[in-house]
Structure 1
Amino acid sequence: MATIKIKQIKSRIHCPKDQKRTLDALGLRKLNHVVEHEANPCILGMVEKVKHLVSVEK
């Protein structure tokens, strides 16, 4: 599968607890942190849930 780079571009402050847990599950801990994951349905679903906080590159 293809890999995608996910970058946190907005703060997690004032976000609901489930969105904070989603960011933790993706491995994003701080602002401007970048992680690389395979583009499987599970990861893409998590990215969709926090799409207003992250940016995605291929």
Structure 2
Amino acid sequence: MLLTAALKCITIRWLKPEPPTCNIWIQKVWDIYSMEEITYFLRLQKPVFNIRWSPAMPLLIQ
């Protein structure tokens, strides 16, 4: 998921002179996190969601 967010940030800034920033990347990761949280909640798989995102949470909560 983190790589997907990074690639999305690169494509958003592709033709612009300034590169993607960490803040843009973190915002994109939070967007993905929110959508996945809703999806797992609707599928009644919240424990699977927590296991999947637990490695990334220390990075995002800084």
Return the TM-score normalized by structure 2: 0.25
Structure scoring higher RCO (CA < 8 A, sep ≥ 6) equals: 1
Which structure shows the higher helix fraction? 2
Which structure shows the higher strand fraction? 1
Return the TM-score normalized by structure 1: 0.26
